[in-house]
């Protein structure tokens, strides 16, 4: 198939790209490196021995995206490009709405012009907001509590309305839980710029000695050890979920929402323990106050994706940590050493 992958140089997109190339697809990657590095794409070329097309462009540049689509003529778009930092989204809402929402509208317009009728969208469990019940299933109310989550919910609505106007169209809205881990080769992985916001990259910085200790944000939650609980999913399982969604869209019309998670929650201290086991390094930490806006715990009910996509996350937390450690041992400072 001919696939346009936006955000293909980023953390999630790069792992999807490897899967697509291994399956022999023709891929056009669109990325402006707002939060990634060209070196990632070099690693992927070396790792897979495959080539792909690349357009360095902002998805907000509608004429450029339309021109690229009219030449490449994708059968499907996998749309991962976007801004994703919750705290930043609260401070720069218009930038987030422009990149995420306007960028997505541009893509849909370019798809229309090129006759492309299928899209897979990177959504997030953040759209659910404060849990009314757990595990979250896809019927849980959508009530995002921050700007980032609202951009995701808006794009879901826009794609749903777009699909509704033509019976030939189809879309999979994939709500990711907490992707962690790296490719098992250690050649690609998460490479956040600056101080990591997320738990696992921060722990990895501590284990490599780049940072002195982890701050554990609260140990007085109503969870089994008092620390926050999340549904961590291996990045390769997440990437495989996109391949499964692509196959699903091949013979289904309309829009479907799928949770991509494991269904299991792990606490901050359980992740620290797993990382210590994987790396054989100390991971010192200090208990600090709760982080503003944090939810005590959430995890997925992935039954719909298991049943309808024939997909299941199989990799353990230990495997996630071992793969992060391999990536960070090879490339302690990420792609741009």
Ranked by CB distance to ligand UDP, the top (closest) residue is 228
Residue 241 partner contact from ligand NAD, ligand UDP, none using kind-dependent CB cut-offs of 5 to 8 Å: none
Distance (Å) of CA 169 to CA 16, 106, 135, 193:
22, 17, 30, 37
Helix (H, G, I), strand (E, B) or coil at 6: strand
The token duo for 72 is 């490449």
178 binds ligand UDP (CB under 6 A): yes
Query: How many residues sit close enough to ligand UDP to count as binding (CB under 6 A)?
Result: 14
* Candidate list 215, 219, 281, 312; residue touching ligand UDP; CB under 6 A: 215
Instruction: Using the structure block, give the residue that is written with the tokens 């749903």.
Output: 160
For the chain, the residue count is: 337
Residues with catalytic roles? 148
Q: What is the C-alpha to C-alpha distance for residues 335 and 66, in angstroms, rounded to an integer?
A: 30
Binding span for ligand UDP by CB under 6 A among 30-38, 49-57, 194-202, 319-327: 194-202
Between 62 and 253, whose beta carbon lies closer to ligand NAD?
A: 62
Residue 103 partner contact from ligand UDP, ligand NAD, none using kind-dependent CB cut-offs of 5 to 8 Å: ligand NAD
Q: Do residues 32 and 252 make contact, with C-beta atoms less than 8 angstroms apart?
A: no
Q: What is the C-alpha to C-alpha distance for residues 295 and 182, in angstroms, rounded to an integer?
A: 25
Residues in contact with 307: Cβ distance below 8 Å, sequence separation at least 6, in sequence order: none
Shortest Cβ distance from residue 163 to ligand UDP (Å)?
A: 28
> DSSP letter string over 137-174?
-TTS----SSHHHHHHHHHHHHHHHHHHT-TT-EEEEE
56 binds ligand UDP (CB under 6 A): no
* Candidate list 132, 291, 330, 333; residue touching ligand UDP; CB under 6 A: 291
Residue 261 partner contact from ligand NAD, ligand UDP, none using kind-dependent CB cut-offs of 5 to 8 Å: none
> DSSP letter string over 180-232?
E---TTSSS----SSS--SHHHHHHHHHTTSSS-EEEE-S-SSSSSSS-EE-E
Distance (Å) of CA 295 to CA 79, 129, 223:
27, 9, 11
The token duo for 163 is 């699909």
* Residues in contact with ligand NAD by the rule CB under 6 A: 7, 9-13, 30-36, 58-60, 80-84, 99, 103, 122, 124, 176, 178-179
Between 232 and 248, whose beta carbon lies closer to ligand UDP?
A: 232
Between 111 and 238, whose beta carbon lies closer to ligand UDP?
A: 238
Binding span for ligand UDP by CB under 6 A among 5-13, 49-57, 131-139, 193-201: 193-201
Looking at residue 289, what DSSP letter applies? P
Contact letters for ligand UDP, residues 244-273 (x by CB under 6 A): ------------------------x-----
* Candidate list 216, 269, 278, 309; residue touching ligand UDP; CB under 6 A: 216
Residue 216 partner contact from ligand UDP, ligand NAD, none using kind-dependent CB cut-offs of 5 to 8 Å: ligand UDP
228 binds ligand UDP (CB under 6 A): yes
The token duo for 38 is 């060209």
Between 5 and 249, whose beta carbon lies closer to ligand NAD?
A: 5
List contacts with ligand UDP (CB under 6 A).
Answer: 178, 197-199, 202, 214-217, 228, 230, 268, 291, 294
């Amino acid at each position: 198939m001919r696939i346009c992958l936006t955000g293909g140089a980023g953390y999630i997109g790069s792992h999807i790209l490897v899967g697509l190339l291994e399956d022999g697809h023709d891929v056009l990657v669109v990325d402006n490196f707002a939060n990634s590095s060209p070196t990632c794409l070099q690693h992927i070329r070396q790792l897979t021995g495959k080539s792909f097309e690349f357009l360095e462009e902002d998805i907000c540049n509608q004429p450029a995206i339309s021109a690229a689509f009219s030449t490449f003529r994708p059968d499907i778009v996998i749309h991962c490009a976007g801004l994703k930092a919750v705290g930043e989204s609260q401070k720069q809402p218009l930038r987030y709405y422009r990149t995420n929402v306007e960028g997505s509208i541009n893509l849909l317009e370019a798809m229309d012009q090129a006759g492309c009728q299928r899209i897979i969208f990177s959504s997030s469990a953040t759209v659910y907001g404060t849990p009314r019940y757990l595990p979250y299933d896809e019927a849980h109310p959508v009530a995002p509590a921050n700007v980032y989550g609202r951009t995701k919910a808006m794009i879901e609505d826009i794609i749903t309305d777009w699909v509704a106007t033509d019976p030939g169209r189809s879309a999979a809205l994939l709500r990711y839980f907490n992707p962690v881990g790296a490719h098992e080769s250690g050649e690609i992985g998460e490479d956040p710029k600056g101080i990591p916001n997320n738990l696992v990259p921060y722990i990895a910085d501590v284990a490599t000695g780049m940072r002195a200790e982890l701050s554990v944000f609260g140990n007085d939650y109503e969870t089994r050890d008092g620390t926050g609980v999340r549904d961590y999913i291996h990045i390769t399982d997440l990437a495989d979920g996109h391949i499964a969604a692509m196959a699903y869209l091949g013979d289904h019309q309309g829009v479907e929402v799928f949770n991509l998670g494991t269904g299991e929650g792990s606490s901050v201290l359980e992740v620290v323990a797993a990382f210590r086991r994987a790396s054989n390094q100390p991971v010192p930490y200090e208990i600090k106050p709760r982080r503003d806006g944090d939810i005590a715990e959430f995890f997925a009910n992935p039954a719909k994706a298991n049943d309808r996509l024939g997909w299941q996350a199989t990799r353990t937390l230990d495997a996630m940590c071992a793969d992060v450690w391999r990536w960070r041992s090879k490339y302690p400072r990420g792609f741009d050493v």
